[in-house]
Chains A and B, each alone.
Chain A
Amino acid sequence: ILNVEQSPQSLHVQEGDSTNFTCSFPSSNFYALHWYRWETAKSPEALFVMTLNGDEKKKGRISATLNTKEGYSYLYIKGSQPEDSATYLCASNSGGYQKVTFGTGTKLQVIP
């Protein structure tokens, strides 16, 4: 993996369903991984910063895991609500301390 890749690009889920998406990043020279939540017409909001292999972070119904050896992070949303509808961005500065790369995001729409 040379770039930060996110999948899926978009998804629709029903209210109450749980969902998850993936961020893949270069595993060499890993420094930190960030997840952001970006609602339309608003500013990106930081959700988590993760640095250690095996890290798990949780904020309410949203949680994230990190595997730095294989270069991936999962974001989980339990019991999705319409207000969870947003684009979820991950960003990593693997591959060099000063090289920061954002993924293109996963656009989530929760259908009431």
Chain B
Amino acid sequence: DAGVTQSPTHLIKTRGQQVTLRCSPKSGHDTVSWYQQALGQGPQFIFQYYEEEERQRGNFPDRFSGHQFPNYSSELNVNALLLGDSALYLCASSLGPEGVLSYNEQFFGPGTRLTVL
């Protein structure tokens, strides 16, 4: 069982560019959530995908968008990058979308470190 995988591991972009991060959920999981962790802060919930639709969303602007594919993998897209978007982006998978924090255990990937210059 491969667990949750994310790619790439690290990424460097410049302001104004666009970035796509990828996540493959743990085998058997159908729900993917994305989090942003800025330096010195706890993870902040971005959004959650289930059945290829965005089900819940945190307080993030529309520059942050996502997608879920039929195989349950997911992408996070960020447009018009700002310096403040530099962070570790975590993906978590679970079985079922029963609330962002449900009784269904979430499994996290190792994250993608995004640096915006």
Chain A interface (Cβ < 8 Å from any Cβ of B):
4, 31-32, 34, 36, 41-46, 49, 51, 89, 91-93, 97-98, 100-105
Contact between A100 and B100, CB atoms less than 8 A apart: yes
What's the tally of chain B residues with a CB closer than 8 Å to chain A?
24
Main secondary structure of the interface of B (DSSP, over half): loop
Closest to B44 in A: A102
Contacts between the two chains (Cβ within 8 Å), count: 58
Which of B14-22, B77-85, B106-114 faces chain A? B106-114
Chain B interface (Cβ < 8 Å from any Cβ of A):
3-4, 35, 40-45, 56, 58, 90, 99-103, 105-111
Q: List 28 A-B contacts (CB under 8 A).
A: A4-B42, A31-B99, A31-B101, A32-B101, A32-B102, A32-B103, A34-B101, A34-B106, A36-B108, A42-B110, A43-B3, A43-B90, A43-B107, A43-B108, A44-B90, A45-B108, A46-B105, A46-B106, A46-B107, A89-B43, A93-B99, A93-B100, A98-B99, A100-B45, A100-B58, A102-B35, A104-B42, A105-B42
